[in-house]
Amino acid sequence: VTAAALPPFADRARTALADTNLHVALGRATGQLGSRRALAFSSLEDSERIRDQVRRTKMELLRDLASHLEQFEERLVAGGVRVHWADDAAAANRTVLDIARASGVRRIVKSKSMATEETHLNETLEGAGLHVVETDLGEYVVQIGRDRPSHIILPIIHMTREDVGRRMNETIGVPYSDDPATLARYAREKLRDEFLAADMGITGANFGVAETGTICLVTNEGNGRMVTTLPRVHVVMMGIERLVPTMADLDLALKLLARSATGQKITAYTSLLRGPRRTGDECGAQEMHVVLLDNGRAEILAGEDAEILGCIRCGACLNVCPIYKSIGGHAYGDTYPGPVGAVVTPGLKGLRRWSPLPEASTLCGACRDVCPLRLDIPRMLLGLRGRATREGGAPAALRTGMKAFAWAAARPTAYRALTAVGRWVMRAKAHDGWIRRAPGLAGGWTRFRDLRAPAARTFQDLWRERSPGTRR
């Protein structure tokens, strides 16, 4: 979907709410994830202290990101890696395309990467006539259906296994099955040839270690290892915020990532890469590049929501979010869905156009509680709402109403008079103490629920009657 064609958030949400299949798929997955996460954390001694420590490390790193990036670049270069800086998505994609052209690349395999999803790298590469294949099973299913991922770590959480079976049957011609193992085998057979024929492998990075210039990549399918070792060129695209200072910090962060993301103690494959193949190495890329992507991150870092750059992309906040459970990931309209996306997307792409995302929250705090780094997403959502309102983003009726409310609420006599009128108006619409259809803004309420009518006499009325001496 191109940006211009994207319908408004309310419409996207409505479409998602009407999709019963989506709710079956989301219900199956999010419930399971929650209990697995809890179990995985119960096996981690000192988990609360580790969370605090990783949070502190990451926040300190962000306060001095420039010097950590400098160190990271220096170590990468020393290890034989070519480092590229990209201010925005277009520059990042151009860089990768230039690398591909300079090395005579025709076939590319990718492992899962949110950064390249963010820059729409595949479209650029395919537009230039290159053959690109996603090798993470979920991303592969996304790609063959010309779909978009709807979750940070579970790209096809919006699909049931029956959906996946149908899609694979229709697009790549394998027999229909709804057995996950069979579907994985089909994909593996298709992908094996791709791995062997590819000239270039593209990955993201779960973490970059500044002190050592290490790229850390975790996968459960082993495809990351294939993508980084079989093709002769390996390109990493990563956001500039994805660093940790030291290997010891990486160790702690990985403990949290696997548990929070998939409820595992450790992912099946953890790759640590420190440059291209050296003399005597039996495998590995001959050429390795790291593209460091800004694309709005420096601006977030300079603003009130720098904290969100501590996100380690585990997706736990999505799984516990009541809004995400209702509308899924696609309705958020961009790369990063859920609570984290509601902060990141306006930060990367501008609040004016994306202000409905911070509004799409009950501020219930489940995201903050589950976040391994305790990122205070509700606080950031409130801040974004404040900025959106200051910049004129609120509907006129709400603005007028809020101004009147605030004016009166600071003046008790006026407040009592105005609320008395309000009670009278509402009570006139009530039957047996309930309103079935309310006018104006309250109409949204009564579309789905009855509205309890105000009381004939306020608490203060009753209280003064009970304690006649009470002075107002």
Residues 324-363 that bind other proteins (CB under 8 A): 325-327, 359-363
Please identify which residue in 42, 189, 272, 463 interacts with other proteins, judged by CB under 8 A: 463
**Closest distance between other proteins and the C-beta of residue 191, in Å?**
37
Site string for other proteins, 268-307 (x = CB under 8 A): ----------------------------------------
Candidate segments 123-131, 246-254, 336-344, 443-451, binder of other proteins by CB under 8 A? 443-451
Q: Which is nearer to other proteins, 58 or 387 (CB)?
A: 387
Please identify which residue in 77, 197, 364, 430 interacts with other proteins, judged by CB under 8 A: 364
CA distances from 366 to 27, 285, 361 (A): 17, 42, 11
Count of residues that interact with other proteins, criterion CB under 8 A: 74
Report which of 284, 279, 159, 283 is spatially closest to residue 215, judged by C-alpha positions.
Answer: 284
**Closest distance between other proteins and the C-beta of residue 342, in Å?**
12
**Closest distance between other proteins and the C-beta of residue 397, in Å?**
11
Q: Which is nearer to other proteins, 128 or 441 (CB)?
A: 441
Please identify which residue in 322, 353, 417, 437 interacts with other proteins, judged by CB under 8 A: 322
Candidate segments 49-57, 139-147, 244-252, 408-416, binder of other proteins by CB under 8 A? 408-416
Residue 70: CB atoms within 10 A of its CB come to 11
**In 3-state terms, what secondary structure has residue 202?**
strand
442: contact with other proteins by CB under 8 A: yes
What is the spatial distance between Cα 297 and Cα 210, in angstroms, rounded to a whole number? 18
Residues 6-35 interacting with other proteins (rule: CB under 8 A): 10, 13-14, 17
Report which of 309, 95, 100, 113 is spatially closest to residue 204, judged by C-alpha positions.
Answer: 113
Please identify which residue in 78, 196, 398, 417 interacts with other proteins, judged by CB under 8 A: 398
What is the spatial distance between Cα 283 and Cα 195, in angstroms, rounded to a whole number? 14
> Any residues with CB less than 8 A from the CB of 307 and at least 6 apart, and which?
59, 62, 375, 376, 380
**Closest distance between other proteins and the C-beta of residue 277, in Å?**
50
Report whether 426 contacts 435 (CB < 8 A).
yes
Report which of 301, 105, 318, 313 is spatially closest to residue 216, judged by C-alpha positions.
Answer: 313
Please identify which residue in 3, 5, 302, 410 interacts with other proteins, judged by CB under 8 A: 410
What is the spatial distance between Cα 397 and Cα 8, in angstroms, rounded to a whole number? 20
Please identify which residue in 103, 220, 270, 419 interacts with other proteins, judged by CB under 8 A: 419
- Token pair belonging to 121: 């790298």
**In 3-state terms, what secondary structure has residue 293?**
strand
